[in-house]
Structure 1
Amino acid sequence: MKISYLFFKICVLTLCCIQIAAAQNRYELNSEWYCNPIGDTKATGSELSSTDYSLEKWMPATVPGTVLTTLLNNGKVPDPFYGMNNEKIKDIYETGREHYTYWFAKDFTEKAKEGEQVWLSFRGINYSVEVFLNGQKVNAEPYKGMYLRKQFNITSFLAENGKNRLAVLVHPADHVGNPNGGQGGDGTIAKGVALQYTAGWDWIQPVRDRNTGIWDKVFIEKTGAVNLKNPHIVTLVEGVRKPGEEQDPATIKVSAELQNTLSVPVKGTLQYTLAGQTVSKTVSLKAHKTVEVDLPDFILEAPKLWWPSGYGEQNLYDMDIKFLTDGQTSDSEKVTFGVREIQTDWNAHTLSKQISVNGQKIFIKGGNWIISDAMLRFSKERYDAEIRFHRDMNLNLIRIWGGALPERPEFYEACDKYGLLVIQDFWMSGDCNGRWLDPKKKEDQWTRRQYPDDHSLFIESAKDVVKMLRNHASLAIWCGGNEITPPADIMHAIKEEILPEYDGTRWFIDYSNSDEMSYNFKGGNGDGPYGIQDISTFWAERTWPFNSEVGSVGTGDAVSLRRFLPEENQVIPIEMEGTEKVKDEVWTYHKYIDYGNSMEPYGTPRDMEDFATKAQLVNYNQYRGLMEGFTAHMWDWYTGVIIWKTQNPWTALRGQMYDYYLDPNACLYGLREGSEALHAMYDPVKGNIMIANNTFEQQHDLMLRVTAYDMDGKSKRLTQVFNYIEPASIRLIMSLQKSIQELSNEKGLFLAVQLLNVDQELVSDNFYWIPDAEGNYSGLQEMASAQLKVEATKISDSEISVTVSNSADNTVSFFNRLSLVDADTRERLLPTFFSDNYVSLVPGEEKTITVSYDKLKSTDALIEIGGWNTPTQTIEIR
C-alpha cells in the first residue's frame, strides 16, 4: 500500500514538472503590477524600468485592466455602476488626458538560454504606449490603437541576473470626446481606432477614463530561432450533412506564419498531427524573414462535425502545430477548432440572406451583444456564464455590435463550446461615423464619414483581428460596421484584400442593416422598433426579413434593482410627459425604458416590488411573443431575427435577459420558451395553434394537446390530436379563436399548449395567460392562494434537482420564480442556471427543474421559490 502511494506521488510530481515546464514557454504577466499617475512621476522611463528604482509608494495595479478599474479596486473612486456614483468621478474631457495617463510597472524573472528567443506580447492596449525594459526603450516605433496586438523580441533587453523591470506609459486616446448626451457623445471618440460607447450611449453613461489602460492580456513567450505565429485552419465540408450520422470526409487546410529571427537561413519542418496522421512540409527560411507556409491538404475521414446549438453536437478538435529544426521544437501553437462550413444564399421569397451550416439552412434566432463589462473586467468564467445563458435561451447566434470591440478569444471559445454562431462587426457606427445629421456631434457628416483619423491603423488592426479570431468555429460572419459601411478605402481593404487573403471562408456584410443582408422594403434605417409593443405586433406586422435589431424592455425584479438603486430611489418609475425620462433621476440615469400602460391590466403597481413583479409578466410575454411571431413566419416573411439586446455591460434598465450581476429575469425564460427547437404555440391575433420545427428531422406522431384552465383551476380540453411536421418548417394546425374568446370573456383564462412524443413525454410545454374581454387580467387579481410542495435534492457537486408539485385541490400556481440563495445571508448565488423558471403548475401537476451552480460543493445553499399566488418558501437541499 505504501509503495503504491509513493509511486502515485512520484507520478503526480513528474506530471506537474512536465506541465510547469510546458507552461513556461508562454505565461501571463497578470499580478503584482504597480502604477502611478504621470503627473506624480518625475523619473524617466529608463529610470523607472530599473529594478533599483523604488515602487514603494506606487499603487497596486490591475492588469489586464483599465485605469478606472485600478482606481476602483484601490478605493480611490466609488462604484460607477451604483446609483449616481458615476457623476462623482472626474471625466477625462474635463480633466484633460494627463489625469488618466499612468505609468505601469511589473518585475518579473526571466533569462534566455542559449538559442532561445524571449518575446513580450500585448493583446490590447488603449490607446498608445511607451514600453521600457531594464532601462531601455523597447518600442522604437509608436504603438497605438486599441485592437492591435504587438509582440516584441526582448531577448537582448533581459538582465543577465534574470531580474527584470517592465515599465509601460499608457496614454489615453488623442480624442476623448465630449460626453454631451449624444450617441458616442460629440462623436469625436470615433477619431481613434477604439470603442465608441465610452463617451455615452442610450444604454450607458460615459466611462470616465474612456477605458484607458493595458486592458487585455500581457504574455512572455519563449521560442527557438523560429517563431511560429498566426496559424490558420480552414475546414471544408461538402454537401448536405445531418447530425448524428457517420460523415463523409472533410478537407482540412492548415497554414502558419514562420519568423526567422537569425541573420542566417534556417531549414526545418512545419507539421501537425490529426487523427493519428502527421502532415508536414520541409521549409527553408531566409535570414530575418517572415513567410506564410501552406501545409498539404488533409482529408479527415469520418469527421465529427460542429453544429450550432439546437441542431447537433459542438464537436471540437485540438491541433498542435510545430516547427522543428534538427528534430527539436523551435515553437508550437495549440489550436482548438471545429469542422464545419458556413454557407449563405439569397432567399428570393423573403428577399434576405439565409445562413446554412454544413449544407443545412438555419433559421437565425439571435441576440445583439455589447460587451461583457463596460470597464473591460473580462474573465473566462464570466464569458462562459453569459454565453451559456444565450444557449439556454435557445438562441443560435450572437451579433457583436460595432460600437464596442472585436471580442476576445475567450468569448469565442465559449461560443465554440455552446454552439453560438457569431457576427463580428468592425468597430464603427452610423451614429459617430456620420450616417445621419446630429446636432450633438461636433463635426459635420462629411468629416465624420472619414473617421477614424488614421485609416492605415484601422486597416492594420482589422488584419490583425482577422488573424486572431479566424480559427473559431463559431465565427460565421464579418460585418463592416453598425448601420454604416467603413470609408471607401477601408471598405476596399477589408472586403477585397484582408478577408480574401486571411480568411475567405465567411460571409461579409457591408453593414449591419444593409439591403444585401435584408431588403429594407419599408425604408428608414432597417431595424427596430426597440420599445414595449403589443404582442399582436410581432405576429401581424411584417418587418425586415432579416431584422438585425428589434427588441423591447428588460427591467429586473426587485432583488436585482436593489443591487444598484439606493433605498431612496427604490420607487415606481413615473414617466415625465413628453420626454423619455422618469421623475426619479437614478432610474433616468440608468437609462430606464418605459413600460407604458402594459402593467395596468395586472392592476396598478403599489410599490417598486409590485412594479418589478408585474414587469416580469410583461417581460416574459414580450420576448416569447417576439420570437414566436418571427418563427410563425419563418421562410415566408423571415430568415432570421436578432434581438436588441440580450445583455448590458453595466447596470442599465433596458433590453436585457439577465442583469449585470448575471441574475436572469423573466425575459430569459420567455425567450427560451418561444425559441424552442420544437415548439407548439398560440397566435393571439387569429387564435391559431401552430407547430414550429427548427430541427433537421421530420417529427412524426406528435400529440398536440391544448387545455384551458379557469381561475379556479378547472380544466377543459380544447383539442388532442396527432400531428407531424416537416424539417425546418412551420405548420398551422387549427384555429381555436372562438373557444378561447368565449372561455376568457369574463375573467380571462390559462391556456396550456403542449406537444408529447410517442413515449408520452412533454417536448414542448407552453403556458399562456389570456386577458378578459376588456383586455385586463381581472381573474389573476382575484386568484386564490396555491401552496406548492417542493423537494430539493443535490445530484452532483454542481446540480440540484428540484421537484415541484401542485395539489389537485388547488387552483393554478402561477408564475413561480426559483432562486438559489446562500443559507446564511439569503442572497442569491450567481450565476445560477435553471432548466426552467417562472414556472406555472396546474392542479395535480408535478415538474422537475435542474438547478446548476458551479460552487455548490463549497456553498451552504437553499432553494427559494414563490409566485403570483404562491407564498414564498425556502427549501433545504437534501
Structure 2
Amino acid sequence: MSRHSLDGEWELIGGPHLTMPEHATEFENEAAIRIPARVPGNVEDDLVEAGLLTPLEMGEGAYQTLDYEGHRWFFRKSFKAPAIDPSEQLCLVFEGIDTIAEVFLNGDSLGKTQNMLIPHSFEIGNCVRHGEENELIVRIDPVVVAGREREAEPCEFVNGFTERAAIRKAAHMYGWDILPRIVSAGLWRPVCLQTMPAVHWRQVFAQTLSIDLENRSSEVAVFWEFVVPQINLNGWKLRLSIDDNQRNRKDLKTVSIFACSGHLMLSLEDIDFWWPRGLGDPTLYSLRIELLNPQGNVAAEHVQTIGIRTLELVQTEITTEEEPGEFVFVVNGQKVFIKGTNHVPLDALHGRDNRHLDTLLSMTADLNCNMLRIWGGGVYETDTFYDRCDELGIMVWHDFMFGCALYPQTEDFLKQARKEAEVVVKRLRHHACMALWSGNNENDVAHDWFPLHSKLNPNDDRISREILPEVLRRLDPLRSYLPSSPYVSQKVFERGKKTSEIPEDHLWGPRDDFKGPFYQNSPAHFVSEIGYHGAPCLESLKQMIEPEHLWPFENDGEIDPQWRAKAIASFPDESLHDGRIRLMANQVSILFDVIPDQLEPFIQASQISQAEAMKFFIERFRMGKWRRTGILWWNIRDGWPLISDAVVDYYNRPKLAYSYIKRVQQDLCVMVDEAEDDRHKVIAVNDTLNDATIDVAIGVIGQADTLLKHTLTVPANGRTQVGEIPASPVCALYLLNWRTDTSTGHNHYLAGPRPFNLEQYTQWVPQLGLEAQPPAFVSP
C-alpha cells in the first residue's frame, strides 16, 4: 500500500449557501470569496490568512465567525494520479471532512459525507484520468442550516438547544464552557491517494488473554483477515514473528491456511509486560504477520505494535455504607491507583491539532499521570496520539464522542452511531494504552438538567445501552465498558437516582471552598472530573485581551465583554457564563478574605487558590487509598485562549497548580491530612510495586524547629501513617521532606485558620523549592 499526499495548497471558494450552487461544475458564477486554503486546516484560518478576518484569539475575535455559519464552501485542487499496477485499487482518502459534504472528481460525484469524526474513502479507479490533470472538488454545506432543516423532537436535549443533536461533529464547536463557538468547516485532517494491492491485509487484532508474571509468559489470541483474488488457497501460509524494542526478532509459528480469516493462539515466553507509569516499563513489541504465497514469497505483510498486558475495570453499580462498592482499574493482576487528567480538544480549530500533540503528552508524562480521559465533546485523536500513550505508559479512558445531551433515537441516527463506533474501535483496539470505553460524557445525569427529561430513564438510551455494547461485543470483547460517566444504572435509577450512591462521579457542585463538605464528604470511590478556576499569567492575558480591557474585569456590575468572551460566552450578548469570572474571584476571597484590586496580585491570588485546591483534591483521594481508587482532575491544557480550570494555558504557560500537582503525583508521596482534635495525621502513599524505606522530616517555613522526624517502610502499592503533628493556631506553611536510598521528595501543607495573608503566601512560594517558578511568580 502506498500513499500520495494531496495536502498543501488548495483553492477555497465560498459564500452564503443560498447564493451558491450545489453541483461543483456550476460554481464559476460570481462568488463572495475566492482565496487560497491550506489542507489540513479550517476555513477560519484561511480567512484570517487572506485578511478577511482579524486573529480570532484576541478579545471577541471568535465572534467574527458567526457571520460565516451559513456559508457553503468549495475546496478545489488539481492533481496527477500516480501510476499504478492494473491489479491495484486507487482510493481517495479523507482523514477528516468537517462535516456535511459531497466529493466530486472531474465533475462526477463520488459520494457524500455527514460525519466529521471518522475518515472517508472513495474508490476512484473508474473516474480518475491517468497521465493528465484531475480536478477534485469538495463541497461543504453549513451544519447550522442542516440542523435547522431537521425537525427536532422534545426528548432531545443539548444545553437547551437541539440543532447539533443529530450532527456528527465535535460538539464543542457549537460552543461550550471550555471552548468558543466556532462552528467551522474544512478538510481538517490529511487527504491522500492510496493504492491498495490485490493481496492485502484487511485487519489484524492481537489480544492478551492471560499472563503469568512469575514465569514471564502469556497467551495471545490473534484475529486476522486478508483479501486475495484466488479462490483456492492451497499452499498459502501465515508466518508470525515478534520483535522487541531492541529489534531482536523471534519467529513464532508458520501455519497453512485455507480461508481468508481466522484465529491463531500464540504462547509467548520470556516476556516483558506493558505497565502503566509507576508500576514498571511500558514494554512494546512489534508483531509481524506475513502472508506467504505457494512459492514461499511474502505476498502481504502487516506489523502491529502491541503491549502484553491484561487490563480491566472492576466496578459495582452502587456504593453505600451497607453495600460498599468499588471502581478500580486492575493491570496485570495489580490494582492501580489512578493519578490522571482530562484531555479536552487540542485546539478549537482542529486543523491545528498536530501543533500541540507532543507538548500535551510531554506535560502529561511530566506530571506523572498514568491515565488520560479523552472527553466526549471533542474528536478521536490521531494514531500518533495513542502511539505516544503506548510508549509513555499512559492509560486512556476513552469516551465515545457523545456528551451532555439526549441524542436522537431514530434508526438513521443509530446507524450513524454504529458505523462511527465500528470505525473507531477497529482503529484503536490494538493499543496497549486503551483502558476503557465510555459510552458518553454526562448523558445519564443530563436527564436531570431539564424537568421534562428528569422523568426519563437513562437506561432507555439505545446508543449507550444497545448500539455501543453490541459493537464492542463484536469487535473489542475484552475491553471494559462504562455506559456513561457518571453511570446511572437501572439499580441507581430505581433507588431514586441518588448521586451519593454512584461509585464514580464528577464533582463540580457549588464550586465554593475547596475544603467544604461537598468535596470532603463525597462517597465516590473514583472521581473523573473535578477542577478549580485559575487565571492565566499576565503574558497570556495580554495575548488574549486588549490593553484597554485587561483590568478591571467588571465595571458597574457588568462583566467586561472581552473577559466574558474568555469565560467563555458563545455569543456577544450571552451572559450565561459571567458567573465563572465572579466564581474565580469568590474562590480567591474564600482563601484570602480579599479580592485584589490590581491585575497582577489578582492573577497570583487566583493561581494560588487553584493550586491549593487541585493539590487538596489529589491528596484527599491519595490518602484514602484503597477506599478511594483514582482521580482524573480537570484539566491539563486549554484548547483556546481563555480563563478556565486548566493548569496550562493555550500558550503552554503553566499556572502554579502545575508545579503543585507534579509534587503530589509523585509515586511516593508524603501528605498531611485535615486536623482532628487539633492533630494532623501524616500519611505516606507508595504507588510502586516495591516497598520503600523513607526518612521523613517536617518543619515550618521560617522556623528552625522540626515537627516530626521518622524513618519507616511504606508497603508496595499501599499507604501507611507516618505519625501525627499538631495543628497550627496561626497561619503557617509546613514543609515536608523525605528521602530514600535513590531519591528525594518534597511537599507542603497550608496550616492554620483562614483567611490566609496573600502577601505572606506570595513570599512563601519562592521558598517552596519548586523546580521552575510559574510565570505569574517570576519577578520582571
Q: Name the TM-score, length of structure 2 as normaliser.
A: 0.83
Aligned partner of residue 33 in structure 1, secondary structure: strand
User: Using the alignment, how far apart are the partners of 2:416 and 2:597 within structure 1?
Assistant: 55
User: Using the alignment, how far apart are the partners of 2:715 and 2:411 within structure 1?
Assistant: 50
1:865/1:635 Cα in 2 relative to 1: closer, same or farther (>3 Å)?
Answer: closer
Whether 2:309 is the aligned partner of 1:340: answer: yes
> 1:165-564 maps to which residues of 2 (within 5 A)?
165-173=135-143, 184=159, 186-207=161-182, 210-239=183-212, 241=213, 248-260=216-228, 268-274=236-242, 275-277=249-251, 279-283=253-257, 293-325=261-293, 329-346=298-315, 350-380=324-354, 382-429=356-403, 431-433=404-406, 450=409, 454-484=413-443, 488-491=461-464, 493-515=466-488, 522=500, 526-529=505-508, 531-535=511-515, 540-564=520-544
Cα displacement (A) at 1:63: 1.7
Whether 2:635 is the aligned partner of 1:630: answer: no
Question: 1:320·1:333 contact (CA, 8 Å) conserved in 2?
Answer: yes
1:452/1:398 Cα in 2 relative to 1: closer, same or farther (>3 Å)?
Answer: farther
Q: 2:455: which partner in 1?
A: none
Question: 2:81·2:128 contact (CA, 8 Å) conserved in 1?
Answer: no
> 1:447-846 maps to which residues of 2 (within 5 A)?
450=409, 454-484=413-443, 488-491=461-464, 493-515=466-488, 522=500, 526-529=505-508, 531-535=511-515, 540-574=520-554, 583-591=559-567, 592-593=580-581, 594-600=583-589, 601=592, 604-636=595-627, 638-686=628-676, 687-700=680-693, 702-710=694-702, 714-738=703-727, 740-741=728-729, 745=730, 748-758=731-741, 761-762=743-744, 764-770=745-751, 773=753, 775-777=755-757, 780=760, 814-816=764-766, 840-841=768-769
1:554/1:450 Cα in 2 relative to 1: closer, same or farther (>3 Å)?
Answer: farther
Aligned partner of residue 766 in structure 1, secondary structure: strand
Cα displacement (A) at 1:229: 2.7
Report the AA paired with residue 179 of structure 2.
I
Cα displacement (A) at 1:279: 4.1
Whether 2:55 is the aligned partner of 1:127: answer: no
User: Using the alignment, how far apart are the partners of 1:283 and 1:133 within structure 2?
Assistant: 40
Query: What per-residue deviation string (whole Å, max 9, x for no partner) do you get for residues 39-82 of structure 1?
Result: 68779546899xxx9x9x95222222222233233332222222
Question: 2:41·2:186 contact (CA, 8 Å) conserved in 1?
Answer: yes
Q: 2:453: which partner in 1?
A: none
When the two structures are aligned, how many residues end up with a matched partner? 716
Report the AA paired with residue 766 of structure 1.
N
Report the AA paired with residue 315 of structure 1.
T
User: Using the alignment, how far apart are the partners of 1:266 and 1:157 within structure 2?
Assistant: 32
Whether 2:76 is the aligned partner of 1:104: answer: yes
Cα displacement (A) at 1:356: 0.8
Cα displacement (A) at 1:731: 1.8
Query: What per-residue deviation string (whole Å, max 9, x for no partner) do you get for residues 147-190 of structure 1?
Result: 33333332333323154332222233376668xxx965613201
Aligned partner of residue 628 in structure 1, secondary structure: helix
Question: 2:7·2:190 contact (CA, 8 Å) conserved in 1?
Answer: yes
Q: 1:84: which partner in 2?
A: 60
Question: 1:365·1:395 contact (CA, 8 Å) conserved in 2?
Answer: yes
1:693/1:538 Cα in 2 relative to 1: closer, same or farther (>3 Å)?
Answer: farther
Identity of aligned residues (%): 22
User: Using the alignment, how far apart are the partners of 1:460 and 1:167 within structure 2?
Assistant: 25
Cα displacement (A) at 1:766: 0.8
Aligned partner of residue 661 in structure 1, secondary structure: coil
Cα displacement (A) at 1:634: 1.9
Q: 1:66: which partner in 2?
A: 42
Q: 1:809: which partner in 2?
A: none
User: Using the alignment, how far apart are the partners of 1:656 and 1:187 within structure 2?
Assistant: 28
Report the AA paired with residue 304 of structure 2.
V
Aligned partner of residue 736 in structure 2, secondary structure: strand
Cα displacement (A) at 1:498: 1.2
User: Using the alignment, how far apart are the partners of 2:88 and 2:189 within structure 1?
Assistant: 26
User: Using the alignment, how far apart are the partners of 1:766 and 1:476 within structure 2?
Assistant: 30
User: Using the alignment, how far apart are the partners of 1:227 and 1:693 within structure 2?
Assistant: 48
Report the AA paired with residue 699 of structure 1.
A
Cα displacement (A) at 1:706: 0.6
Q: 2:449: which partner in 1?
A: none
1:322/1:610 Cα in 2 relative to 1: closer, same or farther (>3 Å)?
Answer: same
User: Using the alignment, how far apart are the partners of 1:124 and 1:778 within structure 2?
Assistant: 49
Question: 2:655·2:774 contact (CA, 8 Å) conserved in 1?
Answer: no
Query: What per-residue deviation string (whole Å, max 9, x for no partner) do you get for residues 251-294 of structure 1?
Result: 2322333234x597777545442142154555567xxxxx6x23
Report the AA paired with residue 527 of structure 1.
H
Aligned partner of residue 273 in structure 1, secondary structure: strand
Question: 1:518·1:544 contact (CA, 8 Å) conserved in 2?
Answer: no
- Per chain length, whose mean CA-contact separation is higher, i.e. which structure has more relative contact order (CA < 8 Å, sep 6+)? 2
Report the AA paired with residue 439 of structure 2.
G
Query: What per-residue deviation string (whole Å, max 9, x for no partner) do you get for residues 372-414 of structure 1?
Result: 1111034445212112212222222111222222233222122
1:337/1:173 Cα in 2 relative to 1: closer, same or farther (>3 Å)?
Answer: farther
Aligned partner of residue 354 in structure 1, secondary structure: strand
Aligned partner of residue 384 in structure 2, secondary structure: helix
User: Using the alignment, how far apart are the partners of 1:71 and 1:227 within structure 2?
Assistant: 42
User: Using the alignment, how far apart are the partners of 1:33 and 1:255 within structure 2?
Assistant: 41
Q: Name the TM-score, length of structure 1 as normaliser.
A: 0.74
Gaps of 5+ in 2: 149-156, 243-248, 445-457, 493-497, 568-579
User: Using the alignment, how far apart are the partners of 1:196 and 1:334 within structure 2?
Assistant: 34
Cα displacement (A) at 1:135: 4.2
Question: 1:688·1:732 contact (CA, 8 Å) conserved in 2?
Answer: yes
Select between 607-616 and 567-576 the one with higher mean Cα deviation: 567-576
Gaps of 5+ in 1: 1-23, 286-290, 434-447, 784-813, 817-838, 842-846, 852-863, 873-878
Aligned partner of residue 101 in structure 1, secondary structure: strand
Cα displacement (A) at 1:659: 0.7
1:231/1:554 Cα in 2 relative to 1: closer, same or farther (>3 Å)?
Answer: farther
Could you say what the CA RMSD is over the residues aligned between the two structures, in angstroms? 3.4
